[in-house]
Amino acid sequence: MDRRLQFAFVLLCLGLLSSTARSDLVVSKAERLVDLNSHIVRVLSKLKVENEGPDDVSEVLLALPDAQAKNLAAIRTFYSDGKLGFVLPTEPIEPKGMPSDVTYYSIALPKKLGKGKTVSLDVLSIFTRSLKPFPEEITQAESQLVVYTDNMYYTSPYPVKYQSLVFRLPGRVESYTKYPKVELVKSELRYGPFEMQPAFSYSPVVVHFENNNPFAVANELVREIEISHWGNVRVTEQYTISHGGASLKNGFSRIEYQARPYMRGASSFRVLIAKLPARAHSVYYRDEIGNISTSHFWGDSQRTQLEIEPRFPIFGGWKTTFTIGYSLPLHDFLFEADGGKRVLNMTFGCPLDEVLVEKHIVKVVLPEGSKDITVATLFPTKQSEDVKYSHLDILGRPVVVLEKDNVVPEHNLYFQVYYKFNNISLLSEPMMLIVGIFLLFVACIVYMHTDLAISKTSSSYLEKLQWEEVQATVQHIKNIFDQYLAAHDKLESSLRDLSRSGDVQSCKAARKAADAQFKELAKELKPLLTFLQSCSQASSILPKIEELVTKEKEMQEKEMAKHTTVVDCFEKKLGGKDIESRIASQQQKLTSLKQEVESLLDSISEI
């Protein structure tokens, strides 16, 4: 308090000294409404500024004591000319010849303020960390009490003719600065009106009141927005959330919390509500040790809401971390801009309600191959560039990093990223995969078909070659025998034809043809057999093949004999029964021979 008084005294002196410096302008009316409901303090000052000097004025100065200015998260001036309302640029400046413990902001007026004219300005300034918990440590059962300090008078470089101050409070008031002109009505604490105060008037006002609204502070938030031109925007938000209020002492008792959560544990919060853009889908909510199962999600075409509950209720001084991720349809956020550019239009801030973000980092991951990247934001941010590698990237994806401290919900404005991107690049990764798999198959084929033996003269290699040759020969022999069998079949069928049609001539012709084929095949077989005999490796198969040859010869003889018999019988016009009885024994032998031949063939083919 002492320091504050000293400070006020200094201010007052300075104010008296410099009161003449800007005497042209006069604040004819200043109504301040200080909203203390949440831990983010919003001060709305309705100003009427009058030009009493002779010259036209184009800018209006605002003043904030440094103690407050360091907590300032945003300042915005609204101006209305009757019909349209717009936001006036408000920039910090350092004017000369003014008291130095004060930070100044200049508002550029849309048109010059002539002599005797008045302009109405609504200045919204947002302060963070201005509510100090007092006491600083409370037990679970106690409510959280906080102290807010402000100037009873409007701090201004101009004299203020008429002013008032209203605090809007969330609950019980423990104490407040007593003053003649003060009244407490329900949840509003009113000071004033005060008239004719000189510039830089100062008188401290302190309010000590109960505030159990969540003091949710995100110590760090990393928002990663990843664009895929296949139609998706993936947003991943990593939070480190803590409770910025009075810290908990004497431990946490679950029984008390469960018995009466709102009485015992009033200062804690257990639910956070995230307002996501419409049509958000594929939402997840997890932390480094897995999924967090306590969340609710609902949405319609206008908006999507995600209600998340951290793993444990957050009491003063506690903290936790978690990650939220969701996907958005690309066409809602990406548009074509002039000059063939594309523009991404997204909100900057954090989607959680009434959360102060101390360090806010937005990373926009553009697709691989994006060029000419520019960013447009409505407030100053620290920009840098980075590269991220993911999903089979070669060059990496360009990343735009935007950093800003002390981000409040009022910063939840749109920002734009402009970049150039060629749609052909989309195909590069699928093509890469296709080529990769193709090459794999080619490599397999090459491996199967090349001879990778190092020594071409080693005995095992030669053996292997010979073995392959033997196998080929055996295969060839097998084919020949298949042809033999086919010839046999032909003969048999000619006999059947004979029994049906009685055409002896054609039957004989068939026999002749078969004879010729048998001879030809025998010729073909000979060199193969001699080769096998010469090969040492074929010794295991050779007996079988030789057996096959003899069996086949026998079969040929039998077949021929049968054929002759049948033809003879036909020529002698014998009856079917007779023929049957004559060839019965031959037939039996033939069948068994055929079986043997076929089983031999099978056993050979098994090698």
Partner 1 sequence: MATSKVEGSSSLRHAFGGVLSVFILFLIGVVAFSIRLFSVIKYESVIHEFDPYFNYRVTQFLSKNGIYDFWNWFDDRTWYPLGRVIGGTVYPGLTLTAGTMWKLANSLNIPLSVETVCVFTAPIFSAFAAWATYLLTKEVKGPGAGITAAAILAMVPSYISRSVAGSYDNEAVAIFALIFTFYLYIKTLNTGSLFYATLNSLAYFYMVCSWGGYTFIINLIPMHVLLCIVTGRYSSRLYIAYAPLVVLGTLLAALVPVVGFNAVMTSEHFGSFLVFIIIHVVALVYYIKGILTPRLFKVATTLVLTVGIAVCAVVVAILVALVASSPTKGWSGRSLSLLDPTYASKYIPIIASVSEHQPPTWPSYFMDINVLAFLVPAGIVACFLPLSDASSFAVLYLVTSVYFSGVMVRLMLVLAPAACIMSGIALSEAFGVLTRSMKFHITKYFECSHTEAPAKLGESTSTESSAPLENMTKSDTTEKPEVARKEKVARRKQKKEKELTENAHVKPVSAKKERRPLVLPLEASIVSVFLLIVLGGLYVLHCVWAAAEAYSAPSIVLTSHSHDGLHVFDDFREAYAWLRHNTEVDDKVASWWDYGYQTTAMANRTVIVDNNTWNNTHIATVGTAMSSPEKAAWEIFNSLDVKYVLVVFGGLVGYPSDDINKFLWMVRIGGGVFPHIKEADYLKDGQYRVDAQATHTMLNCLMYKLSYYRFVETDGKGFDRVRRYEIGKKHFKLTHFEEVFTTHHWMVRIYKLKPQKNRIRGKSRKSKLGSKSTSSKSGGMTHKNPWN
Residues that bind partner 1 (CB under 8 A): 250-255, 258-259, 287, 289-294, 311-312, 317-321, 389-394, 475, 478-480, 482-483, 486, 489, 493, 496, 499-500, 576, 580, 584, 587-588, 591-592, 594-595, 598-599, 602, 605-606
Extract the tokens encoding 335.
């548009």
Nearest approach, Cβ of residue 60 and partner 1 (Å): 46
Report whether 49 contacts 38 (CB < 8 A): no
Nearest approach, Cβ of residue 344 and partner 1 (Å): 21
Amino acid at residue number 170: P
If the CB atoms of residues 480 and 528 are measured against partner 1, the closer one turns out to be: 480
Nearest approach, Cβ of residue 360 and partner 1 (Å): 20
If the CB atoms of residues 405 and 602 are measured against partner 1, the closer one turns out to be: 602
Nearest approach, Cβ of residue 255 and partner 1 (Å): 5
If the CB atoms of residues 412 and 605 are measured against partner 1, the closer one turns out to be: 605
Amino acid at residue number 134: F
Nearest approach, Cβ of residue 520 and partner 1 (Å): 13
If the CB atoms of residues 55 and 463 are measured against partner 1, the closer one turns out to be: 463
Q: How big is the CA angle at 70 (ends 64 and 71), to the nearest 5 degrees?
A: 95
Give the contacts of 161 (CB within 8 A, at least 6 positions apart). 26, 27, 28, 29, 195, 196
Nearest approach, Cβ of residue 486 and partner 1 (Å): 6
Nearest approach, Cβ of residue 433 and partner 1 (Å): 11
If the CB atoms of residues 52 and 429 are measured against partner 1, the closer one turns out to be: 429
If the CB atoms of residues 203 and 247 are measured against partner 1, the closer one turns out to be: 247
Alpha-carbon gap, residue 215 to 211, rounded angstroms: 9
105 forms beta bridges with 62, 92
Report whether 75 contacts 125 (CB < 8 A): yes
Alpha-carbon gap, residue 126 to 53, rounded angstroms: 31
Nearest approach, Cβ of residue 472 and partner 1 (Å): 12
If the CB atoms of residues 193 and 502 are measured against partner 1, the closer one turns out to be: 502
If the CB atoms of residues 75 and 566 are measured against partner 1, the closer one turns out to be: 566
If the CB atoms of residues 40 and 292 are measured against partner 1, the closer one turns out to be: 292
Question: Is the peptide bond between 527 and the residue preceding it cis, with omega within 30 degrees of 0?
Answer: no
If the CB atoms of residues 118 and 475 are measured against partner 1, the closer one turns out to be: 475
Give the residue among 305, 310, 255 at the shortest CA–CA distance from 283: 305
Question: Is the peptide bond between 54 and the residue preceding it cis, with omega within 30 degrees of 0?
Answer: no
If the CB atoms of residues 427 and 432 are measured against partner 1, the closer one turns out to be: 432
If the CB atoms of residues 13 and 437 are measured against partner 1, the closer one turns out to be: 437
Report whether 215 contacts 243 (CB < 8 A): yes
Nearest approach, Cβ of residue 594 and partner 1 (Å): 5
Amino acid at residue number 117: K
Alpha-carbon gap, residue 1 to 430, rounded angstroms: 69
Nearest approach, Cβ of residue 523 and partner 1 (Å): 16
Which H or E run includes 217?
strand 216-228
Report whether 471 contacts 607 (CB < 8 A): yes
Give the residue among 237, 340, 216 at the shortest CA–CA distance from 280: 237
Nearest approach, Cβ of residue 559 and partner 1 (Å): 13
Report whether 144 contacts 245 (CB < 8 A): yes
Count CB neighbours of 578 within 10 A.
Answer: 11
Give the contacts of 334 (CB within 8 A, at least 6 positions apart). 227, 233, 342, 343, 344, 345
Extract the tokens encoding 374.
């520019």
Torsion of CA 97, 103, 108, 112, to 10 degrees: -40
If the CB atoms of residues 162 and 318 are measured against partner 1, the closer one turns out to be: 318
Nearest approach, Cβ of residue 40 and partner 1 (Å): 23
If the CB atoms of residues 106 and 320 are measured against partner 1, the closer one turns out to be: 320
Count CB neighbours of 308 within 10 A.
Answer: 21
Per residue, the 3-state secondary structure of 101-161, as one string, reads CEEEEEEEEEEEECCCCEEEEEEEEEECCCCEECCCEECCCCCCEEEEEEECCCCCCCCEE
CA distances from 361 to 221, 224, 310, 327 (A): 6, 8, 22, 19
Nearest approach, Cβ of residue 349 and partner 1 (Å): 24
Nearest approach, Cβ of residue 483 and partner 1 (Å): 5
